[in-house]
Chain A
Amino acid sequence: MNKVLLMGQANVGKSVFFNRLAGANVTVSNYPGTSVDFDKGRMLLEGKHVDLIDVPGTFSLQPKDRAEEVAVKMLEQEKDTVVICVIDASKVERGLYLALEIIERGYPVIVALNMWDTAKNAKVKTDVKKLEQILGVPVVPTVATTSEGFKELVSRMREAAPVAIEEITKSVGGDKSETHN
C-alpha cells in the first residue's frame, strides 16, 4: 500500500482534514484532460512516507457533475490504496451511503466521523463500537479543526481491510429490502 485516498462529501470538513494529515508539502495537481484540481501531499504511516490524495468531494459514486466524475475516476484507477472516508458525524446516514459504495468496490476503508464536536452539540450520538462491528472496518470520531482523534485514525489505518458487503447486510439481519419494495 503506497497511497491513501481521502474521500467524502462536500462540507464535511475534508480540506481541513487533509491539511491536518498532509502537513506542509502540499502540491496542487490537475487531473489530466480536465480543469479539476486536487491536492496531493505526503503523510507518515508506520515510518513510511505515502502519498495522500484529496479526492474532490462527491455525494456518491454515481457522478452528476464533472468534479464528481473525476472523483470516481481517481478511485477507479487506484488499486493499491486505503480510503479514508470522511463522514459528517451529524449526518451519518448520508456519509454511510458513500462509505458503503466504496466498500462494495472492494477497497479497504477506514471511516472518520468528523465534526464530532458539532454532532455532540446537536445531540446526535453515534455508537462507534457498534458501527465498527457492523461495518467490519475501523471507525474513528475526529475533529479536524482541533486534530482530535487523528492519532487514533493514523494508528488504526492498517486495520482497514476489504469487507464483503454481504457480511454487513448479515450483521444487521439480512437483506429485507425486497419485502417493502
Chain B
Amino acid sequence: MKLTIDQRWDLVDRIAKETVEVGTYKPGLRDAVADATVRPAIGIPFAIAVLYGFWTFFGEFAGLFTDGFFVRIFGTHWIPFLGEKLAGLPDWAFTILVGDRAVFAEGFGGDPCFAAGGILTTGLFMPFGIVLWAVLALFLMLAVLEDTGYLPRLASLVDSVLHKIGLHGFAIVPTLVSLGCNVPGVTACRPLETRKQRFMMIALLGVFVPCGAQIGMMEELVPELIGWVFLTLAIGYLGFGWVLNKVWPGESPEILMDMPPYQAPVWSNVLRKTWNRTRHFLFVAVPFVLLGCLIVMVLYATGAMDALASALQPFLMAVFGVPAEATPSLVVGFLRKDLAIGLLPIEAMTTYQVFKSVVLLTIYFPCLATFAMLLRELNWKEILYTLGFLVVTILVFGSILNLIGMAGGW
C-alpha cells in the first residue's frame, strides 16, 4: 500500500510526537556567526574578505609551484637539455617534439618555457608546470567552502543582484565551480529547476566564466591585466544575462535553499574531493593540451599556419583589431583555452591588444570537454542558440573593445 502525501506527513507527525523531544535551545557562537554572515551589513564585507582570501591563496599557491619550481626546472634544465639531446632529429620531428630550431638557435626570444613550443617542452610545461597547480588550488578552496557550509550563505547574499537578471543567488555556486573548471560547473547547474534557468546558466558559464586553467595562464603571463579582464567578463555576464532573461521564454521561479549549519570541514573528505576533481582534470585536459601542441606544430612545419594566418588577417584586423600572429591561439582555442592563451604572441601586440585577446579567447568557443558536457545537458535547439549567442557575443564584444581601443588610440 502507498500513502498519499498528506497521510505520510500525518504519519511522520505522529511518529515524531512520540519519539522526538525538542528542548529549549540557547543560541551559541556558531549561530551568531551563521546569522551575521547572511546579513548584508556584516555578510558583504565578510564575503569580500572570503573571496579575497580565496584569490590570494590561489595566487600564492600557484605562484609558488609555477615560478618557484617549474619555470626553473623546465626553463634552465629540461628544455635546453632536450634541445641538445634531440638535436640530431630530423627537422620535422624536432619541431613537433621540442620546438622551432630557429628559436633555440637564437637563445629564445622570451621565456623558453613558452617560446619553445614543442610537445615535450611547452606541451608538458603548460599542464604540469602551470595549470595543474592553479586548478588544484581552486579545487581545494572550493571543497573547503562547500564543506564548511558557506556557499549557500554566499548565494543568499548575492540573491538580490542576480534576481535582476532572472537568475537566483544559487547561480553563484556553478559560477564559482566553473572558475575551477567549466565541466563540473555545467554539472552544478542541475539543481536549477526550470529549463530556462539551466539553459541561461549554462550559456553564461560557457561564454563568460574563465576556468582555472585559463586563470592560471593569465596569472603567469599577464598578471597586471587580470583585474580588467574579470571586470569586462563580469559586465558581459550580467549584461547578457539580463538580455537573455528578457528574450528567452520560460520562468525563473524561486529556489528554496537549505541553509546547513557551519561545520568544520573533514579533511579527508576535502582532500578526496580535491583529488577526484584534479584527477579528472588530468585525464581530460592533458591529452588535449598535447594534441593542441601537436596540431599547432604540424601546421607550422607544413607551412599551413602561415597560409591560415594570412587568410584570417583581414578579418582579425577589421573586427577585433588583433594581428595575424594570434591565429595559432584561435586554432587551438577549440581544444584548450589555457593553451590558446599560452600561444598568444604577447611580444607582437600592444597591452590593449593582449587584454582584448584574452577576453575574446575566454568568450570564444567553449573548450572541447565543456562542449561535450553541453551536448549531454542541453537539447539541440538550446545548443544551437548557445552557439548563436556565442557568435553574437564575440562579435559584439570584439567590436566594442576594438572601438574603445581606436577611440583611446591604444
* Residues of A participating in the B interface, judged by any CB pair closer than 8 Å: 10-11, 15-16, 19, 26, 28, 34-37, 62, 64-67, 92-93, 96-97, 100-101, 104, 118, 121-128, 130-131, 134-135, 145, 164-166, 168-169, 172-173, 175-177, 181
Contact = CB atoms under 8 A, between A and B. Distances in A.
B25 A97 contact: no
A100 B12 contact: yes
B32 to A, nearest CB: 14
Contact of B272 (A10, A26, A165): A26
Contact of A177 (B1, B6, B276, B373): B6
B12 A67 contact: no
A131 B1 contact: no
B279 to A, nearest CB: 9
B16 A35 contact: no
Contact of A64 (B16, B19, B193): B193
A166 B12 contact: no
29 contacts: A10-B258, A11-B149, A11-B260, A15-B269, A16-B269, A19-B266, A19-B269, A28-B276, A36-B190, A37-B187, A65-B192, A66-B190, A92-B16, A92-B20, A97-B9, A97-B12, A118-B261, A122-B25, A124-B21, A125-B22, A127-B19, A130-B18, A131-B15, A145-B266, A165-B3, A172-B18, A175-B7, A176-B14, A177-B6
A104 B18 contact: no
B25 A93 contact: no
Interface in B245-279: 258, 260-261, 263-264, 266, 268-269, 272, 276
Q: Which 10 pairs of residues, A with B, have the shortest CB-CB distance? A: A123-B23, A177-B10, A11-B260, A172-B14, A131-B19, A127-B19, A125-B21, A177-B7, A96-B12, A123-B25
Nearest to B264: A145
A93 B20 contact: yes
Interface in B176-210: 186-187, 190-193
Contacts, number: 113
Contacts of B266: 16, 19, 145
B191 to A, nearest CB: 5
A32 to B, nearest CB: 11
B8 interface: yes
Contact of B19 (A15, A62, A126): A126
Contact of B376 (A15, A34, A93, A121): A34
Nearest to B273: A15
A100 B276 contact: no
A36 B190 CA distance: 8
A118 to B, nearest CB: 6
Nearest to A165: B1
A97 B8 contact: yes
Residue of B7, B19, B24 with most chain A CB atoms under a 10 A cut-off: B19
Contacts of B381: none
A96 B16 contact: yes
B16 A93 contact: yes
A10 B173 CA distance: 15
Contacts of B21: 124-127
Contact of A93 (B13, B190, B373): B13
Residue of B15, B28, B263 with most chain A CB atoms under a 10 A cut-off: B15
A134 B269 CA distance: 34
A101 B8 contact: yes
A22 B404 CA distance: 57
A127 B21 CA distance: 8
B19 A130 contact: yes
Nearest to B269: A16
A38 B283 CA distance: 18
Contacts of B191: 65, 67
Given A65-B192, A93-B12, A93-B20, A19 B268 contact: yes
Contacts of A16: 266, 269
A124 B280 CA distance: 41
Contacts of A121: 28
Residue of B20, B23, B280 with most chain A CB atoms under a 10 A cut-off: B20
Given A124-B20, A172-B18, A176-B10, 11 more contacts: A10-B258, A35-B373, A65-B191, A92-B19, A97-B9, A104-B1, A123-B25, A134-B15, A165-B1, A177-B6, A177-B7
B15 A135 contact: yes
A128 B7 CA distance: 23
B261 A126 contact: no
Nearest to B30: A121
A125 B18 contact: no
A62 B9 CA distance: 14
Interface in B132-175: 149
B382 interface: no
